[in-house]
Structure 1
Amino acid sequence: MNAPAVASAPGKLLLAGEYAVLEPGRPAVVMAVDRYVTVTAGPPEHAEVELVTDLLDHPVGLRRGPHGLAVCDERDAGHLAGVLVHLAAVVDTVDRLCAESGRGRVPVRLTVCSDLHQHGVKVGLGSSGAVTVAAVRALGDYLGIPLSGEERFRLGMLAGVTVDAGPSGADLAAATWRSLVLYRSPDRDALLGRLRAHGVLETLNAPWPGLSVRILPVPAGVSVHPGWTGRAASTSARIGRLRRTGWRGGDDHRRFLSDSERITTQMAEAVRRDEAPALLAAVRDARLLLGELDRRTGLGISTPLLTALCRTAREAGGEAKPSGAGGGDCGIALLPAGVSVEGLHRRWTEAGIVPLALRPCAPHGSPQIPSDVPYTPAPRTIR
């Protein structure tokens, strides 16, 4: 019997590049933060595959079949959502990898504990990406499959696209490299097509055009302060709504992508140089760009609480913006070094915004990529 394996992965905050990063090769700046999802892989008690989360009062049992995983009890079909659907996708993807590599499939229980929720509600810190990365690592360790950081990221991405090819994978990058990163996304629709046509192993090792990960230093000239609106928001739902607007491909879309590229690149350079005024200006520009996108598409990115979060941060001497798709979840404020955060937190609390005690996550257990060298993963063949 294999020894249980435990792995954790951090959540994330998006500093710039929302929506633009959905397009292959377009950048985002994303920060890993010190709240984690922990996944334990071990032997199951009853079913061939068991998924357990602290958000559900019983295990969900799955059976392996010719077409992948299926629930043992149809009453559990509705529970295969949220983190559990991502756990199941990881198991199914690794199952296919094992079959293609000549390895046998092993019964397994994956148990999840998440710090990325408040009172059972997600706060917008990338819980899906974190649970995917943690599950890939825990399951790989449990099965005795040596996986590099690049391979964990790629397997996580392949599992993710089988659930939804829309999200960019920025949360996966932050969770894998546990750092502040400048991330450019691959073409997820192309990955899904290749995965279906050629399998996991071939897709894992193929070139992924557009993908790039650059590790950035955590700036010392500003402090980072997230606030939670108390309302969960669906990134996938907003991505779907954006696609249905017909906005993509038009002149407004092209200008948005160009402006986002400029702002995100300026932010990454300000971070690299630790230039607080330039970094705050980039946060301001990123917020204004999201506001313009919201006005043109009606996505509902901004909410009264996110507006209040940003306004009070500016009044405190900093800058702020929604983090991620908007419509709820989190906003993020940056204050210059030396500026007290107590007044900002007091105003947030009075407005119904919950300050989150988070810090940038220090890299740990991941490849150390020089901050000034672009990095494109190139995984080894798995045997």
Structure 2
Amino acid sequence: MTTGRPPVVRRAPGKLFVAGEYAVVEPGNPAILVAVDRHVTATVTEPAEAGVVISSDLTAAPVRWLRRGDRLDPVGVADADRARRELAHVLAAVRTVTRLLAEHGRPAPDLSIAISSTMHENGVKFGLGSSGAVTVATVAAVAAHAGLALSAEERYRLALLASAELDPKGSGGDLAASTWGGWIAYRAPDRTAVLDLARRHGVAGALAAPWPGFAVRRLPPPAGLALEVGWTGTPASTTDLVSGLHRKAWRGTASHRRFVAATTDCVRATAEALERGDRHGLLATVRRARRELARLDEEAGIGIFTPALTALCDAAEAVGGAAKPSGAGGGDCGIALLETADAGPAGPAVSTEDTAHTGATGASPDIDHLRERWTAAGVRPLALRPATEGNEE
């Protein structure tokens, strides 16, 4: 029965990888990400009947789930497996928070969860990390509804435990960007070790224990550069691409070691350029990141670069910018950094947040030319800005 309590609303931004893709799936390897202002919103209220009722703008109708021990089983659904697939990340988030409540002697709450997202259009996702964002938003909303006061790192850790339950190969970089927002340097924890911690010591124990390999810190936004994002029109599966690479027995090879070393050095140089406000150095490291991904693609043959992503990168280079696929490639989005009109000859002047997609101060003819070239190549410019805030109400 409902009690008239106000709804709890939490939202989480999407993400783009700036550098470190593929290498970051190995524990302790670094990457740089930026959160973007497309969000997933989770709204939690008390349901009219027992169980967990989940509705989403990506599913046809609300689905009611009843608890069977640690399981959540759908009620009155013709295709239960499809329902589990479509709502897998929401269900994993609910289970993880419920386990934490149980460890504190709290009963599993009845919930009504409504999910909405601006990371897709007519059901087609843009590749901005919607799975990570929905996990972070759901964890935060359910925890807040239950009265749990959690730090940002605890929310991230709960989301990582939920995500690793579904796919331990995922780095969790999307979860970190969705949690902290802005530009971040991130190192992935050992997900196998983290899941083992939770099995041996419970969720609360896993929240309190050190996580091997994990680190996150904020970085300043690039000054004097605009972040442009292009969508290829072709959705891609990060899980399939990363799994394909591992099926080729790439890990442990000389190629793997060289790629990880080169990518780690590239991420380090990118972070230093951001911290110094060195826009020319940053452009150089983004170009280098593109070359490293291209070399990996050539050696491993996993399909990172599609014709559209290559055209996206070439168009940015043609107008003096730097560009690369963002994430696993194979479709989805690419990013470009271009100097703004008022960057000045000597260094930083305005941040990406001040210039991207405003069409006013900081806009440059090169940005207009880039968007025209992208459109002609079948790449859709997306009106995205960095999201300075992470998981928020």
Is the pair's TM-score, using the shorter chain for normalization, greater than 0.5?
A: yes
How far apart are residue 195 of structure 1 and its match?
2.1
Please point out which of 319, 333, 347 is paired with 2:373. Answer: 347
Unpaired runs of at least 5, structure 2: 342-363
SS of residue paired to 2:85: coil
What CA deviation, in whole Å up to 9, does each residue of 1:105-135 have, x standing for no partner?
Answer: 1100111110111221111111011111111
How far apart are residue 74 of structure 1 and its match?
4.8
SS of residue paired to 1:81: helix
1:77 alignment counterpart? 81
Task: Tell me, yes or no, if the aligned pair for 2:9 and 2:43 is still in contact at 8 Å.
Answer: yes
Whether 1:363 and 2:367 are equivalent positions in the alignment is no
Whether 1:198 and 2:201 are equivalent positions in the alignment is yes
Give the distance between the partners of 2:47 and 2:251, measured in 1 at CA.
Answer: 46
How far apart are residue 35 of structure 1 and its match?
1.0
Give the distance between the partners of 1:93 and 1:68, measured in 2 at CA.
Answer: 11
Task: Tell me, yes or no, if the aligned pair for 1:3 and 1:142 is still in contact at 8 Å.
Answer: no
Task: Tell me, yes or no, if the aligned pair for 2:179 and 2:390 is still in contact at 8 Å.
Answer: no
How far apart are residue 79 of structure 1 and its match?
2.4
Whether 1:225 and 2:228 are equivalent positions in the alignment is yes
Q: Which letter maps to 1:191?
A: V
How far apart are residue 224 of structure 1 and its match?
0.2
Please point out which of 308, 312, 330 is paired with 1:309. Answer: 312
1:107 alignment counterpart? 110
What CA deviation, in whole Å up to 9, does each residue of 1:153-202 have, x standing for no partner?
Answer: 11010111111111101111111011100000100111122223332111
How far apart are residue 46 of structure 1 and its match?
4.3
Q: How many residues align?
A: 365
Task: Tell me, yes or no, if the aligned pair for 1:17 and 1:29 is still in contact at 8 Å.
Answer: yes
Structure 1 vs Structure 2 CA RMSD: 1.3
TM-score, normalised to structure 1's length? 0.93
Task: Tell me, yes or no, if the aligned pair for 2:55 and 2:113 is still in contact at 8 Å.
Answer: yes
How far apart are residue 230 of structure 1 and its match?
0.8
Give the distance between the partners of 1:194 and 1:365, measured in 2 at CA.
Answer: 25
Give the distance between the partners of 1:162 and 1:70, measured in 2 at CA.
Answer: 17
How far apart are residue 243 of structure 1 and its match?
1.1
1:97 alignment counterpart? 100
Please point out which of 134, 149, 153 is paired with 2:152. Answer: 149
Give the distance between the partners of 1:169 and 1:8, measured in 2 at CA.
Answer: 17
Unpaired runs of at least 5, structure 1: 367-383
1:378 alignment counterpart? none
How far apart are residue 211 of structure 1 and its match?
0.5
Give the distance between the partners of 1:105 and 1:217, measured in 2 at CA.
Answer: 41
Give the distance between the partners of 2:170 and 2:69, measured in 1 at CA.
Answer: 28
SS of residue paired to 1:102: coil
Give the distance between the partners of 2:187 and 2:24, measured in 1 at CA.
Answer: 7
Whether 1:268 and 2:271 are equivalent positions in the alignment is yes
Give runs of aligned pairs for residues 286-305 of structure 1, distance below 5 A: 286-305=289-308
Bigger Cα displacement from structure 2, 40-49 vs 113-122: 40-49
How far apart are residue 349 of structure 1 and its match?
1.0
Q: Which letter maps to 1:9?
A: A
Task: Tell me, yes or no, if the aligned pair for 1:220 and 1:337 is still in contact at 8 Å.
Answer: no
1:370 alignment counterpart? none
2:353 alignment counterpart? none
How far apart are residue 44 of structure 1 and its match?
2.1
Give runs of aligned pairs for residues 1-383 of structure 1, distance below 5 A: 1=3, 2-46=5-49, 48-75=51-78, 76-82=80-86, 84-338=87-341, 339-340=364-365, 341-363=367-389
Q: Which letter maps to 1:103?
A: R
Identity over the aligned pairs, expressed in percent? 49
